[in-house]
Amino acid sequence: MRSSIVISAFVAVVVGFGGSVAVVLAATKAVGATELETASWIGGLCLAMMATSGFLSVRHRLPVVTAWSTPGAALIAATNGVNMSSAVGAFLVAAALVLATAAFRSLGALVEKLPSAIASSMLAGVLFTFVLEIFGALQGSPALVLPLVGGFMVLRLISPAWAVLLVLIVGIMLAQGLGMIGSIPALGLSEFTLIHPTFDPAVLIGVGVPLYLVTMASQNLPGAAVLRAAGYHAPMRSILTVTGLASLLTAPLGAHTSNLAAITASICTGPDAHPDPSKRWLCGPFYALGYGFLAIFGASVVAVFTSFPEALILTIAGLALLGPFVGAIGNGLAEERHRFAAAVTFVVTVSGIGLFGIGSAFWGLLAGLAVLGLDRLKTIIVR
């Protein structure tokens, strides 16, 4: 046991929570969540992180840590006309699909066969809206946003993982100095509420299915790659079963999908956590304790964040998603043979089109697959 184990776990919790909670808050706002529902959403996610990380790391003696789906939260935040009840129905369907993937090898193989260029371009289209919001916030509050953007561009050269968190701290201090933040609420316990789900077919297809796909493509698969890169075999069926079950149980609290961590996982799987790879799994229990604390006092954290000016939230969310956007658009356009289909996927997703009440993420995915199918058909005919 080393102090580096505790420090690495703490850093992973702070970076994971502080760097992306603004995106989750944007999602809660998009579906019209009340203050109590928002606190329940955050608290439910933290409970899921605590339970899944603690169980998986101890069960497999591996540094398996989990996170909420930040791209999934961005997807939810980009939707229109979805209320909290129908959103919970979509969360339940996404969780059920994750469990089905764990149960049926064929379904998991089918998801893995989804061209990464198409999945990445759909994700890039969803994230692009949030990155663009930075400039809208800059126009409205230049004194607050401009220093944050400039500071982020410098800090990311030193530590991309810490850049968003440090900018968030500086942003809070700057907003306070500019008189844009009111009184900070006192520390209080989290409250949870049960939300009755509504299974709207349009929302299930337009939100539930894309939520499942982006969670698998941008969180679970990269998370498994991080474990493999660190020399560990990722027990994916166990991970999908546990995270899928946790998502199913916390969805009525308003929480969206839980999944394998990718970016924060690298903090717990490297030699900085412990020089002995067989000891790094100890990060998992301490990581779980950190999220347990946040689950207890999550309501206070939410109250603090909701007291921040909208420009600060938009800027932090956009900066937090800038790195994932660059990665997604890069992966989408990397292969020349898939480039046109990937571009179509991106454009349709960005358009915000909503046919039959179904969101643009689904139509972007469908359009990209259709173009890819036509390209392959042409190749067969030419041969």
Q: What is the pLDDT of residue 109?
A: 64
The mean per-residue pLDDT over the stretch 278-282 comes to 91
The residue whose two tokens read 């956009």 is 318
> With bands split at pLDDT 50, 70 and 90, how would you rate the model's confidence at 112?
low
Q: Which residues of 40-163 form beta strands (DSSP E)?
A: 66-68
Q: What is the pLDDT of residue 211?
A: 92
Q: What is the pLDDT of residue 68?
A: 92
The mean per-residue pLDDT over the stretch 102-117 comes to 70
What are the pLDDT digits (tens) for 224-265? Answer: 867 876 778 878 889 999 999 999 999 999 999 999 887 677
| DSSP state, residue 180 | -
Enclosing domain of residue 82: 3-328
Domain-located, residue 345: no
Q: Please give the structure tokens belonging to residue 368.
A: 């990209």
- Average pLDDT score over the chain: 84
Strand partners, 260: 66
Q: Please give the structure tokens belonging to residue 56.
A: 């998986």
What are the pLDDT digits (tens) for 2-61? Answer: 777 887 788 778 777 876 788 898 899 999 999 889 989 999 999 999 999 999 999 999
Domain-located, residue 83: yes
d(CA 370, CA 107): 20
**pLDDT of 187 strictly over 70:** no
By the 10 Å C-beta count (0-12 exposed, 13-18 middle, 19+ buried), 10 is classed as middle
Which residues are CB-contacts of 178 (< 8 A; sequence separation ≥ 6)?
A: 143, 144
Q: How many residues does the chain have?
A: 383
The mean per-residue pLDDT over the stretch 324-336 comes to 81
Q: What is the pLDDT of residue 1?
A: 67
CA distances to 11, 47, 237, 286, 380 from 6, rounded to whole Å, are 9, 19, 28, 6, 56
Domain-located, residue 294: yes
**pLDDT of 299 strictly over 80:** no
Three-state secondary structure call for residue 258: strand
pLDDT-above-90 percentage for the chain: 30
**pLDDT of 334 strictly over 80:** yes
The mean per-residue pLDDT over the stretch 122-126 comes to 79
**pLDDT of 355 strictly over 70:** no
Q: What is the pLDDT of residue 317?
A: 73
Domain-located, residue 203: yes
- The larger pLDDT score, comparing residue 43 to residue 303, is at 43
Three-state secondary structure call for residue 64: coil
Of 363, 345, 369, 356, residue with least CA distance to 128: 345
pLDDT-above-70 percentage for the chain: 91
Domain-located, residue 90: yes
Q: What is the pLDDT of residue 383?
A: 67
Domain-located, residue 356: no
**pLDDT of 196 strictly over 90:** yes
d(CA 255, CA 16): 16
> With bands split at pLDDT 50, 70 and 90, how would you rate the model's confidence at 169?
confident
Q: What is the pLDDT of residue 86?
A: 95
Q: What is the pLDDT of residue 111?
A: 57
Domain-located, residue 245: yes
Domain-located, residue 351: no
Three-state secondary structure call for residue 229: helix
Q: What is the pLDDT of residue 255?
A: 94
- Please give the tally of structural domains in the chain: 1
The mean per-residue pLDDT over the stretch 88-92 comes to 96
Of 51, 27, 30, residue with least CA distance to 41: 27
Give the DSSP H or E segment for 330: helix 310-332
Which residues are CB-contacts of 41 (< 8 A; sequence separation ≥ 6)?
A: 24, 28, 33, 253, 254, 255, 256
